[in-house]
Structure 1
Amino acid sequence: MILRLRIYAVLGVFVAVNALFVFVLLWAYGVLLPAVVGGTVTFLQHGEVGISLLQSPVSPGLYLALVAAFLVAQLSYGYRRVLSGTTGSAGDTDHGVARIVRRLAMTADVPSPDVCVVGDERASCYTVGRLTDATIVVTTGLIDRLDAAELEAVLAHEIAHVANRDVTLMTIATLFLEVADRAYHATQLVRRALSDPDELSTRGRMALLWFLPLVALTYVFVSPLLWAFPAVADRTTRTLSHTREFAADAAAARITGHPMALATALLSLADASPSPGTDLRTAKTRALCVVPSDLVAGDETDAIPTIDRPDDEPARRERVSAWLTGATPSNPTDTDAIETHPPLEHRLERLREIAAEQELGETP
């Protein structure tokens, strides 16, 4: 319940930041710049200035409509970007992975998502889709690497994301981070032209050629208004991403009743995944995966590896404890991975706590 409330709180902050971003742009170009230009002309002609900045650039109704359109546009464009990350499509529903997903969905009381098994040796699992449907993408490399209990735990983690509409939340959140970053970058055109003119794009040179006064005014007056938005958006997005991962881990532990299976699965996937080389703004889709990794691109396969492997709970506990004992400051978690996901040691600690709570609940 606390995690869910935190998600709602962060989401509320995110919507408020979006609304403020739209208002700042409208006010800057609808009130501030016209007032500066008009006030300057009036001062030169009459020697006096009459500027009124305390006014709304548009009516409240139009403003709310523009904020809603801004959010819808992000969602629509973001979906197209995310859905283009995989080329597989859900087909055969009789294989073992699909049966596990259907059983887990029934346990969680959510509509069963489609399942797409992609023939790829990389170990990856993530969910794509829209509000009304979802597809869990699993690679044959993941099935090969995990035992039956671990695979079930990872799929339960994805079922939790489906239940919480996390794909929708993170699609909007990560795209706004890019919008805010690019908007601020665009206001810095004059500075970039002065510091490194050879690196300007053709579009940037055309803007300087045809709209130099507007570009200069934007740099002087609008840029200071936008500089904080990328940092705020980044912090909000990371907080939302971390919280949803903790919530999905807890839900998977509750659905399967085997939190340590998810813990060892995370260890296996972290070992198998190459360290991301970029942060959230340039690798947004990594936030959709169970651990930070790139989305796979490949065709669906009917050659499903066997998933009937033994479960060894004591060995899981020993492996997690040994890893946590060795996770010292001299061997820190990759900082780029932390951008999209909580530190692995924090996820493992929480899963170990959940396992202890479950044991206490079972003790007569």
Structure 2
Amino acid sequence: MNLRLRIGAVLGVFVAITAAFVLALLWAYGVLLPGLVGGTIVYLQYGAIEFDLVRLPVSLVTALVLIGGFLAAQTYYGYQRVLAGTHGSTGGEAHAVARTVRRLAMRTDIPEPDVRVVADNTASCYTVGRLTDATVVITTGVVESLDADELEAVLAHEIAHVANRDVTLMTITTLFLEVADRAYHAARLARRALADPRELSDGGRVALYWFLPLVALTYVFVAPILWVFPAIADWAARTLSQTREFAADAAAARITGNPMALASALVTLAETTGTPETDLRAAKTRALCIVPNDPVTGEDTTSLPRIRRPTADTRRRERVTSWLEATTPSGPVGGDGSATHPPVDARVQQLYEMAAELEGRA
């Protein structure tokens, strides 16, 4: 299945799960809980019970409007959510990273994304998007770690995400995973209150004090319904992320004509970042990064480290070859099904084979 079909399939699943999530909340709080409470009261008074659970508390048109509004809010807020702590610079001549992104955007015939370089030693690089808007965020740690060709290849990888139109979908998918996870967490307030009341937030204590019956009913009847949504959203995010990384790697190699540059960049970033020790579902936005790492935010800087001159092709190939042949694990292996990225080894191997194919044509 090609990239567009896979992205289309994930998009279909995402829209369906979003609609189901909104409808489930409407049904739970507009039909199920009122029906249980009202039905219990009627039964205690008259010894009989009659209420219809197979319905929506609002009209179909209203439900569709609410679903559309929820999707629109995710499209807008997902972009703002990730970039909340990152601020653009004020004026000044474009630096080398911005000039490279502009050149790559012109080469791929896409609107030029915004560029923000954050002064941070963490090797983090990611792109977030909203329809026609996109922003590439890269740290000085990445700039300092790579040579000129490798840096261009990494930026081409991010440009490929924009060109493949997967960046917006990935941005809102990661946000929905967070929303679904928080909704399920909130629905289990009663359980958390019994397990460890000292860990409750002030809002949780207020909810328990004023709405204890609703909190209890939500845990018993609503939490089991909401349980499925984080799991499905997590699967969709991981499936899309792994597909898009392979596609963006291949596209970046074609844009630059230098697959080995991206391969050696991935080796460097994998060695710098290491394998995350925590489940990636605990850090949902890591799926946006070129390698699994926390997206770094902060003030945009124009003071870039000096970009190193390109490494000789023979030395780059030797390093990538020896790294592939090594037995040390590199990057997430995804054996437990939680990794948001394909194994770095597999990505580097794909680029290595592309480089060999290009050399064979020469």
So what's the TM-score if we normalise by structure 1? 0.88
Q: Which moved more, 1:196-205 or 1:182-191?
A: 196-205
In structure 1, the gaps of 5 or more residues are none
Q: For the residues of structure 2 that align with 1:205 and 1:120, how far apart are their CA atoms?
A: 38
Q: Which residue of 1 aligns with 2:20?
A: 20
Q: For the residues of structure 2 that align with 1:338 and 1:211, how far apart are their CA atoms?
A: 36
1:228-284 deviation line (CA, Å, top 9, x unaligned): 111111111111111221221111011111112101101111222255454444433
Look up the equivalent residue of 1:233 and give its one-letter code: A
| Secondary structure, aligned partner of 2:339 | helix
Look up the equivalent residue of 2:221 and give its one-letter code: F
Q: Which moved more, 1:97-106 or 1:25-34?
A: 97-106
User: 1:297 Cα shift?
Assistant: 4.1
Q: Which moved more, 1:116-125 or 1:50-59?
A: 116-125
User: 1:138 Cα shift?
Assistant: 3.2
Note closer, same or farther for the CA distance 1:200–1:108 as it changes in structure 2 (3 Å cut): same
Look up the equivalent residue of 2:14 and give its one-letter code: F
Look up the equivalent residue of 1:220 and give its one-letter code: V
Q: Which residue of 2 aligns with 1:77?
A: 77
Q: For the residues of structure 1 that align with 2:325 and 2:61, how far apart are their CA atoms?
A: 57
Q: For the residues of structure 2 that align with 1:182 and 1:302, how far apart are their CA atoms?
A: 37
1:162-190 deviation line (CA, Å, top 9, x unaligned): 22344422221111111111111222222
Check whether the contact 1:125–1:289 (CA below 8 A) recurs between aligned residues. yes
Check whether the contact 1:90–1:114 (CA below 8 A) recurs between aligned residues. no
User: 1:23 Cα shift?
Assistant: 0.9
Q: Which residue of 2 aligns with 1:5?
A: 5
Check whether the contact 1:174–1:280 (CA below 8 A) recurs between aligned residues. no
Look up the equivalent residue of 1:347 and give its one-letter code: R
Q: For the residues of structure 1 that align with 2:199 and 2:308, how far apart are their CA atoms?
A: 56
Q: 1:18-97 counterparts in 2 under 5 A?
A: 18-89=18-89, 91-97=91-97
Look up the equivalent residue of 1:7 and give its one-letter code: I
1:340 aligns with 2:340: yes
Check whether the contact 1:147–1:311 (CA below 8 A) recurs between aligned residues. yes
Note closer, same or farther for the CA distance 1:60–1:306 as it changes in structure 2 (3 Å cut): same
1:250 aligns with 2:250: yes
User: 1:58 Cα shift?
Assistant: 1.9
Q: Which residue of 1 aligns with 2:236?
A: 236
Note closer, same or farther for the CA distance 1:90–1:289 as it changes in structure 2 (3 Å cut): farther
Note closer, same or farther for the CA distance 1:280–1:48 as it changes in structure 2 (3 Å cut): same
Look up the equivalent residue of 1:317 and give its one-letter code: R
Q: 1:125-164 counterparts in 2 under 5 A?
A: 125-164=125-164
| Secondary structure, aligned partner of 1:168 | helix
Check whether the contact 2:238–2:287 (CA below 8 A) recurs between aligned residues. no
Q: Which moved more, 1:334-343 or 1:180-189?
A: 334-343
Note closer, same or farther for the CA distance 1:323–1:262 as it changes in structure 2 (3 Å cut): same
User: 1:89 Cα shift?
Assistant: 2.9
Q: Which residue of 2 aligns with 1:321?
A: 321
Note closer, same or farther for the CA distance 1:359–1:3 as it changes in structure 2 (3 Å cut): farther
Q: For the residues of structure 1 that align with 2:132 and 2:286, how far apart are their CA atoms?
A: 22
Look up the equivalent residue of 2:67 and give its one-letter code: V
RMSD: 2.6
Q: For the residues of structure 1 that align with 2:191 and 2:116, how far apart are their CA atoms?
A: 48
Q: For the residues of structure 2 that align with 1:139 and 1:182, how far apart are their CA atoms?
A: 29
Percent sequence identity is 65
1:187-225 deviation line (CA, Å, top 9, x unaligned): 222222222233333322222222222222212211211
1:281-303 deviation line (CA, Å, top 9, x unaligned): 44333322222223334544444
Q: For the residues of structure 2 that align with 1:315 and 1:90, how far apart are their CA atoms?
A: 40
Look up the equivalent residue of 1:11 and give its one-letter code: L
Q: Which moved more, 1:239-248 or 1:316-325?
A: 316-325
Q: For the residues of structure 2 that align with 1:238 and 1:256, how far apart are their CA atoms?
A: 27
Q: For the residues of structure 1 that align with 2:251 and 2:208, how far apart are their CA atoms?
A: 53
Note closer, same or farther for the CA distance 1:141–1:49 as it changes in structure 2 (3 Å cut): closer
Check whether the contact 1:104–1:159 (CA below 8 A) recurs between aligned residues. yes
1:312 aligns with 2:312: yes
In structure 2, the gaps of 5 or more residues are none
User: 1:9 Cα shift?
Assistant: 0.8
1:271 aligns with 2:271: yes
Q: For the residues of structure 2 that align with 1:90 and 1:129, how far apart are their CA atoms?
A: 21
Look up the equivalent residue of 1:89 and give its one-letter code: S
User: 1:227 Cα shift?
Assistant: 1.3
User: 1:92 Cα shift?
Assistant: 4.2
Note closer, same or farther for the CA distance 1:36–1:117 as it changes in structure 2 (3 Å cut): closer
Q: For the residues of structure 2 that align with 1:135 and 1:51, how far apart are their CA atoms?
A: 51
